[in-house]
């Protein structure tokens, strides 16, 4: 009985003196990654909001900042283009205009935005045709989550003898309205 108690005490000591501090260090790395991702996303979206466009250089700089965390991310961009539709009693008769407009948004997403930024036509990154432009009143947003299993998630699964399905330890959503058209 004494032998089993000694083994249990040694395992508990290893767990408390080694594994828990290692897990806390990994969690702090996730917190630092979260702060870096938040700063990068805020800087990127705020730059887009004040300029009214995205260039390949801006997008690559954003991805470089994300890569500095050591994680891989699923980056989803969303551009909502503001549109106005005049209200008519009879759409076929322009004389029935009601004097009001209905506002709606057309959505453009990552694939459509990246197709403008990185076309297969060999143009230089500075070419104005590779600039994704927006208008004042539009909305731009980014949604990020890591797709790899961070060290903290792996250690937690090891300690708890679990298999966490959700990998995302770093999540970020940030969006805003376009304030300027500087193109």
What DSSP letter does each residue of 68-104 carry, written as one string? Answer: TTT--EEEEEEEEEEEEEEEESSTT-GGGEEEEEEEE
pLDDT of res. 165:
67
Q: Which of 169, 101, 177, 93 is nearest to 139 (CA)?
A: 177
pTM of the predicted protein model: 0.81
Average pLDDT, the chain: 88
In angstroms, the CA 80 to CA 107 distance is 5
If one compares 24 and 108, the residue with the highest pLDDT of the two is: 108
pLDDT of res. 137:
92
If one compares 122 and 61, the residue with the highest pLDDT of the two is: 61
């Amino acid at each position: 009985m004494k032998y089993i108690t000694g083994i249990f005490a040694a395992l508990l000591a290893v767990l408390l003196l080694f594994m828990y501090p290692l897990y806390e260090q990994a969690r702090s790395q996730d917190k630092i990654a979260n702060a870096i991702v938040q700063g990068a996303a805020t800087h990127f979206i705020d730059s887009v909001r004040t300029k009214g466009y995205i260039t390949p250089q801006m997008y690559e700089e954003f991805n470089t900042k994300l890569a500095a965390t050591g994680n891989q991310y699923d980056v989803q961009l969303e551009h909502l283009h503001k549109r106005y539709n005049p209200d008519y009693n009879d759409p076929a008769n322009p004389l029935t205009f009601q004097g009001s407009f209905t506002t709606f948004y057309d959505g453009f997403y990552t694939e459509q935005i990246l197709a403008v930024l990185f076309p297969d036509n060999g143009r230089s990154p500075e070419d104005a045709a590779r600039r994704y432009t927006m208008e004042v009143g539009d909305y731009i947003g980014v949604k990020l989550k890591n797709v790899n299993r961070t060290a903290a998630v792996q250690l937690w699964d090891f300690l708890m003898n679990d298999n966490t399905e959700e990998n995302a330890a770093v999540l970020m959503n940030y969006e805003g309205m376009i304030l300027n058209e500087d193109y």
